Structure formats: structure tokens, C-alpha cells
Structure 1
């Protein structure tokens, strides 16, 4: 099995339907409108967001979030993942009546429990929600910068790419960068190549969440490759949400051939009937990546991870050992 790493997953969006149903029983909530037969059901982007928010609202305590992180990471490890970063949203926590600090502590407990069981390393990337406005994103950045939790290692921004001008959010990213946090930002998913270019110009991120619409502008693709910006690519999500009509139309092979640094990620896995294992399988089947190339994708993710250098070295050694063992077996 090729070892894997994931840099782009929204923790509330990773809640398994079975876990959400258990939470619903705990709080006396009917979830049959968006979960039945053990799966999420929605029909367009708006109903997906409604299902996402309704599920997220059922996590209301530190222990709820600990169970969520533990379940997600344990499942990820079973698919061969050695490292995960997931996006958190203090805004969702506050809507559920939990402080951002308690929310983070709960998730950190889940990370620790999963590591004790499986050895998987986990880190937290705090995100602001773009369409909540600059003040909300800046508030999330201040929390990320000052919370002091060792597992909070990055800051990003998700939400509607069409909302607000990038210059409105520059201060938030400056706050995070000054605190030594890694920087990523969603762009080039539902926004076109211009949204990727604007993100690079205004935020100077180390990574771009999605970024695949950059393919619409060849000069931008060259810039991404030359600057070594890492793209957090989520192929199944892109197809399920209609960003591209099918894997045959997905630009992963073009971006890869152009020398862009790419990773594979599941985004909101149970909503899209995917997981990190399926993302790697899609890259093999549809994009022509063999085991050596898939291992290189994992190496890129570990090199781009928002993690301390000692942990990075240990993870890269695990990857190299697995690669050597596979070579001997062949």
C-alpha cells in the first residue's frame, strides 16, 4: 500500500453519516431530511451546504469534537495515511455554543487518541469564512495566532471565492503569518483563474486549496510551478460538485505535466462518497500515476505540511522506508 497524506479536509465535512445519526439521537434531532440509508443526500451546492451545516450543528461539546476527530483520523489511517491536516471553523463552533478554545481542545484530544491507536500525525488549520466578511476572517486569524495550541499550525480562508476583494482580507493573513503560521487559501474552485492569481498576489500563500482553475491561464500555471506553490487538489469533490464534468476533463494531468506541486485530498469525504484511498485510486486509474508517482505526491504533501521539522523528518523517513520495502518486494 502506498502511504498517503492529506492536507485539505474540512473536519465538520468529514463527519460520517453514522456518527451524525448517533449525535442526532443524543440531541433529539431528526436528520432524515439529509441522511438516509446510511448516506448523505443532497442535490446541488446549496443543499450540500445546508446538509453540511445541519450535521455540523450536532457537534456541541469538546467530547463531540474529540469523537469526530478521532473517528476521521482513525479511518484515514486505515487507508494508509500517516499525516493529516484538517480545516477548523471557529464560526461553526460558536454557532453551536462552544468557545473556539474549547472546540480546538476537543479536536486536539481526538488527534491524540487517534495517534495513540494508529500512529497518524494530525495538525489543525484554522479557517475564516470569506463570505462572513473581513472582520470575521480577521477574528479567526487572531484566534489562530494567539490560541497557543501546539497543534494549530496553519491559517486559511474558505467560503465563497466571489465574496469581497482579496485586499479586504490581507490583514488577516498578515496576522497569521506574523505568528509563524503556515498560509493556505481556497481559490480556483468555483472562482476562475483570476481568483488564484489574486490569492497569490495578495496573500503569498505556501499552498492553494484546489487551485485547479489556474489551468485556464497558462502563464499562471507557469508561475505556480516556478514559485513552488503547492496545490491541494480534490479530484472527486471537483467532479461531484460539477467544477469539471468528469475525470477525463480534470486538469490534474496538465498541471502535473507543467511541473506544479500537487497533492491529493478528499475535501468533505462522506458527502462526496470518497476518502483518501479513493482519491489516490482515481489518480492511478484516470491520471496515469503509478506507485512511484503516487509516493511522490505523498512526499510533496509531507514537504508542504505545516509541521515542525523534526516531525517532518520522521514522516519522510517512514515514507522512504515504505518505498524501500515495496521495491524489495517487487
Structure 2
């Protein structure tokens, strides 16, 4: 029975190394020649990087193969793994649609092609044998021009059948030089009734309190409790949820040890700020959501009661979860009902 919600997973970083290596072996022998042995590819793909920018460069490797023709191949395997191995009931996939369009086209043609990309991702995410509630978060990008980013916001508003929110991606340090522009885009998105999250306060280079009033959730946000705990009161008042992705901070060098996250969780719980535990890039990390849970528990970052609170928060803050309760609560009711009915039988 699927029990968990994943609120922060990138489409580009969701492809596990074995699947990506197998795709190269089947369909792109030129790339396969660089890594004839799987073990070599896995080590390269999942190793720690020295910075967030270096880490994000890996997304370009996957984006280059996530073409309209290949997206169904990757998404089917993503959904299958999420259902079978991670017990996911709910999954939000985020990505920048412009980077899945044909690079040979003109910018205006690529903008037009984004609608087809959203449709392909949306349709491919609905797999009958693996019933997971899915939705998309479209990412504007800190390195894309304003015209493209505005088109992404407009597309999100027009395709609410598939899209539940917008985000900003591309490396948080690159937001600074265009901060007013991105504030304007978020203000515009909220005026359209769009839900919002954003990659902020992940590193010490990405702290922009000016954007906080426009967010409903915060992508990462760990520097708030670590460096700016005075902001936690505002975050709590805005009912914002932090999307904390533990393995990411080790892979990017943002934190030296997972135990450093104990301060994040303790201060957030004390301030009444919700946290959803997420994977971010499950493929790049070669980990799954239950591992993130277990790792936090075994390193005494959180206890079981706090874990359950985070799992509840994930469903409570999910942008497109259609039910009032998390699946575990509904399952408990179903299991108790036959017992109650049995007690009413006259024999």
C-alpha cells in the first residue's frame, strides 16, 4: 500500500543510474562508449560534487536525452520504481519544460513546443498498474531570459490539468542579479492563482527574504533555521513548508554531515514550521525516499514521532493531493470497518 508523498523531485535528477546507463546502451552508443562498464558510470553519476553549480551540471546530461520521444520511456520507469520501491501515493515532478524542447528550433518555436512537453509528461505519468497521484511543477530558471520564464508561468496557468505550481531553479546564487524580475514573475503567478514554491535558502548564496512573501512552500530553505532563525516566525505565520532533501546537501558540499540537519529540524519544530522530507534528485543520489527517512532516524536527526509529523506535513502541503487525509489514515479506517461490522453479526 502506497503511503508517502514526495514534494520535491526533479524530472532530470529522477532517473536512476542503471536506467540511464541502460538507455545509453540501447539508444545512444556514443554516450555509452564513455562508460562501457556500469560501475564506472554509477561512480561518476552519483559521486559528491564540490558545489551546487557543479552538481547542477549533471542535469544537462539527462535533459539532453529527455526528448519528447524518450520522455515516456523514462517516466514509466520512474513511476514504476516510485510505486514498487518507495510506496509513493503522491508525486510532484518538477522541471523546466524549455530544456526538453528541440534545440534546433528558434526560441519562439521552443516556447510553443513546451505545451507538448507538459502534455507528454502528464499523460506518461498516469500508469494504470501503478496508481500514484501525480502533478507537475514547472520551473522558471535563473539562467533563462524573462520572455521564456514568463511563458512558463503562462503555460502553468493554462495547463492546470497537469500543473499544480511553479518553482525557480537553476542555482540560487544566480537569482541575485535579477531579483526584482523574479519577484515580478512570482507576483504575476500569484495574481493568476498559481501555487508557488522556490529554490531558496538552500546555500548561503541563495538567501532572498524578499521572495518569501510570494511562496507557499520553500524548496530546501535550510539556511533559514541555520543562519536566519529570526525568519522562522514569519515562515510559520505564512504556513510555509520547508522541502528538506537530506542527501542533496552532502552531495553538493552544503553540509559536511547529515547530523548538521538536527539543528534544522529542532528549530523548525520549536517554531511550528512544517518540514516535508524529500529526495530532490533520487537518481543522481541513487537513493529512495524511505532511505532518507531511515538515514535521518539512524543518525538521530529526528525520532519516529517527528518523522510521522513530517510525513503528515507532506500530504497537508501537497499542491494536488485530492483527499483530506493521508493514505495511512484512510487505510486504518478501512481495516477497522470490517472488525466493527463483524461485531454486529448475530453469529
TM range (shorter): 0.7 to 0.9
Change (3 A) 1:226 1:280: same
Q: Distance in 2 between matches of 1:47 and 1:33?
A: 19
Q: Distance in 1 between matches of 2:236 and 2:328?
A: 24
Change (3 A) 1:247 1:288: closer
Superposed CA offset, 1:229-248 (max 9, x none)? 11111011112211111011
Q: Per-residue deviation at 1:149? A: 4.7
Q: Distance in 1 between matches of 2:116 and 2:300?
A: 42
CA contact (8 A) 1:235 1:279 kept: yes
Alignment of 1:217-256 (within 5 A): 217-250=228-261, 251-256=264-269
Q: Distance in 2 between matches of 1:47 and 1:32?
A: 23
Q: 1:211 is matched with which residue? A: 221
CA contact (8 A) 1:65 1:106 kept: yes
Superposed CA offset, 1:271-299 (max 9, x none)? 12322111111232234544443232122
Change (3 A) 1:221 1:94: same
Q: Distance in 1 between matches of 2:196 and 2:33?
A: 38
Change (3 A) 1:109 1:16: same
Q: Per-residue deviation at 1:2? A: 8.7
Matching of residue 131 in structure 1 with residue 143 in structure 2:
yes
Q: 2:197 is matched with which residue? A: 184
CA contact (8 A) 1:128 1:157 kept: yes
SS at structure 2 position matched to 1:277: helix
> After TM superposition, what 4+ stretches of structure 1 lie above 4 angstroms from structure 2?
31-35, 95-98, 322-327
Q: Distance in 1 between matches of 2:236 and 2:141?
A: 27
Q: Distance in 2 between matches of 1:293 and 1:180?
A: 32
Change (3 A) 1:58 1:292: same
Q: Distance in 1 between matches of 2:334 and 2:141?
A: 43
SS at structure 1 position matched to 2:196: strand
Q: Per-residue deviation at 1:11? A: 0.5
Q: Per-residue deviation at 1:88? A: 1.8
Answer with 1 or 2: which has the greater Rg: 2
Q: Per-residue deviation at 1:30? A: 1.2
Q: Distance in 2 between matches of 1:108 and 1:239?
A: 31
CA contact (8 A) 1:210 1:231 kept: yes
Q: Per-residue deviation at 1:217? A: 1.4
SS at structure 1 position matched to 2:236: helix
Tell me, which stretches of 5 or more residues in structure 2 are unaligned? Answer: 105-109, 337-347
Q: Per-residue deviation at 1:36? A: 3.8
Change (3 A) 1:325 1:169: same
Q: 1:30 is matched with which residue? A: 31
Alignment of 1:22-101 (within 5 A): 22-24=22-24, 25-31=26-32, 33=34, 36-37=38-39, 39=42, 40-41=45-46, 43-45=49-51, 46-62=53-69, 64-78=70-84, 79-95=86-102, 99-101=113-115
SS at structure 2 position matched to 1:171: helix
Change (3 A) 1:165 1:56: closer
Q: 2:328 aligns with which of 316, 319, 324?
A: 319
Q: Distance in 1 between matches of 2:169 and 2:8?
A: 11
Superposed CA offset, 1:68-121 (max 9, x none)? 2222222122212110101021121125567212211221122111xx122211
CA contact (8 A) 1:3 1:295 kept: no
Q: 1:18 is matched with which residue? A: 18
CA contact (8 A) 2:11 2:93 kept: yes
Q: Report how many residues are paired.
A: 317
Q: Distance in 2 between matches of 1:288 and 1:323?
A: 28
Q: Per-residue deviation at 1:168? A: 1.2
Q: Distance in 1 between matches of 2:301 and 2:333?
A: 22
Alignment of 1:252-291 (within 5 A): 252-291=265-304
Q: TM-score, normalised by structure 2?
A: 0.82
SS at structure 2 position matched to 1:294: helix
Q: Per-residue deviation at 1:66? A: 1.9
